[in-house]
Amino acid sequence: MKSGALIFLAAFLALAGSWGGFVLAPQIQLGFNVQTNVVGTGELYPQARPGLAKQGLEVYRANGCVYCHSQQVGQDGTLCEIVLTDAGTNATATLAAIAKLDSELAKLDGVILLARLPKAILTVADMNAAEYALKALEAAGAKAETHLAAIGPDIARGWGRRRTVAQDYLFDYPVQLGSRRIGPDLANVGLRLPDANWQLRHLYAPQSEVQGSTMPSYRFLFETRKAGAKPSPDALQLPAVFAPAFGCEIVPKPEAKVLVAYLLSLRADAPLFEAPLTPLAGAAAATNAPSVSTNAPAK
């Protein structure tokens, strides 16, 4: 090539292309998102994180938790299960309806099939097929419902109930999705480990809660001080190996408390249009409020 101008043009076009694709287009598609409704309810999602959790996000950022922990859950597929809740008065008709839906099930013992309800008896392709199955079962007098479940290794590990989507990170700054899993994924840690005291003990001495953990201890988030006549309500209850010297107690500093508040606010399980899911029956509302923590001794 002869001139700097041509090189400049080439570089400009190439970079403009990817700028349009990965800077401009995401901004157009996602940059103006607002809260949406949780599918099936009028609830807004996501709720803004409460103030303590927002401060905790700053502590998370400042200490670089993102270099070991990711905050995104993946999904390989979605299952649509038919859950039989009531066999109805006419067991034969119910069994006949089930047999028509899935001939394999006809070979099973009817008594066992209809025992211990509610249970998932059938997996169908999608909600249209589920609608058909439900109608057939209801015609036979039984009662059933559909249950959507996500499948994938992350889901199987209990790291989430569905994949994370853009809506889950709407109000976060900075969004720290993470690119390594040296430690477990934290997208739903508020659901999985909702005990604030566990989180505090784990931060102070990770090896006390998780055997063989390579997570460094965050002792600088805590204060060791002389215990008064009564132990303070915030003092950590640690096993003997990690406990402080006699007469001293470990008390979390405000940084530790807000970090735990942030961790407990991490959840991404609300059913959305782009991530359909059946909410758990009787599940707590999808708020980001931290669970109430007590100083009850470790179980």
Partner 1 sequence: MTATSSTSPSPIDASCRLPLFTLFGGAAVWLALSSVFGLIASIKFHSPNFLADCACLTYGRVHPASLNAFVYGFAIPAGLGVALWLLARLGRVTLARPWLVVVGAKLWHVGVLVGLLGIFGGDATGFEWLEMPRYAAVILFVAFLLMALFGFVTHSARSRRCESADSSGEDVRRFTSAATNELYPSQWFVLAALFWFPWIYSTANLLLLVFPVRGVTQAAIDWWFSGNLLVVWLTLAGLAASFYFMPKLSGRPLQSHYLALFVFWTLILFGTWVGIPGGAALPAWMPALSGVAAVMTLVPTLTIAASAWLTLRGSTTKCAGGPLCFVKFGVFSLLLSGLMLAVSAVPQISRVTDFTWFGTAQTQLRLYGFFAMTMFGAAYYILPRVTGNEFPFAKFVRVHFWCGVLGTLLLALPLAIGGVVQGLKLANAGIAFTDVAKSALMFLRLSTVGETLLALGNLLFLLNVTALIVRHYRSVCLTAYAAATARLETTEVKP
Partner 2 sequence: MNAELKTTSTIESEPTSTLTTLPMWLVVLMLLLLFWGAMSFDRRGGWFEPKVYGPYVSVPDLERFQPRDRGGPNLPRGKVVFEMTCALCHNSDGMGKPGQFPPLAGSEWVNAPGANRVLRIPLVGLSGPIKIKGQEWNLAMPAMGAALSDDDLAAALSYIRQAWGNKAPPVTAEKVKAIRAELGNRAQPMSADELLRLPEEMK
Residues 1-60 that bind partner 1 (CB under 8 A): 1-4, 7-8, 10-12, 14-15, 17-19, 21-23, 26-27, 29-33, 60
Output 178 or 290, the one with its CB closest to partner 1. Answer: 178
168 binds partner 1 (CB under 8 A): yes
Count of residues in the chain = 299
- Point out which residues bind partner 2 (CB under 8 A): 25, 29-30, 39-40, 74-78, 80, 125-128, 130-131, 134, 146, 148, 163, 165-166, 271, 273-276, 278
d(CA 45, CA 257): 25
SS3 265: coil
- Which of 50, 88, 141, 183 is in the footprint of partner 1 by CB under 8 A? 183
Q: Which among partner 2, partner 1, none contacts residue 132 (Cβ within 5 to 8 A by kind)?
A: none
H/E element, 151: strand 143-151
Q: Count CA atoms closer than 13 A to 49's CA, side-chain side.
A: 26
Q: Which among partner 2, partner 1, none contacts residue 153 (Cβ within 5 to 8 A by kind)?
A: partner 1
- Which of 124, 215, 259, 266 is in the footprint of partner 1 by CB under 8 A? 215
Residue 109: CB minimum distance to partner 1, A: 29
Q: Report which of 182, 174, 168 is spatially closest to residue 267, judged by C-alpha positions.
A: 168
Show the binding pattern over residues 110-149: x = contacts partner 1 (CB under 8 A), - = does not. ----------------------------------------
Output 122 or 256, the one with its CB closest to partner 1. Answer: 256
d(CA 253, CA 222): 5
> 3-state SS of 157-187?
CCCCCCCCCHHHHCCCCCCCCCCCCCCCCCC
179 binds partner 1 (CB under 8 A): yes
Q: Report which of 174, 176, 259 is spatially closest to residue 218, judged by C-alpha positions.
A: 259
- Which of 192, 207, 227, 289 is in the footprint of partner 1 by CB under 8 A? 207
210 binds partner 1 (CB under 8 A): yes
Q: Which among partner 1, partner 2, none contacts residue 134 (Cβ within 5 to 8 A by kind)?
A: partner 2
Residue 92: CB minimum distance to partner 1, A: 39
d(CA 80, CA 87): 20
Contact predicate 113/98, CB 8 Å = yes
**Measured between alpha carbons, how far apart are the two ends of the chain, in Å?**
72
Binding segment toward partner 1, per CB under 8 A, in 87-95, 100-108, 134-142, 158-166: 158-166
d(CA 210, CA 195): 15
SS3 147: strand
Residue 140: CB minimum distance to partner 2, A: 16
- Which of 56, 206, 271, 290 is in the footprint of partner 1 by CB under 8 A? 206
Q: How many CB atoms lie within 10 A of CB 256?
A: 25
Contact predicate 102/173, CB 8 Å = no
Q: Which among partner 1, partner 2, none contacts residue 237 (Cβ within 5 to 8 A by kind)?
A: none
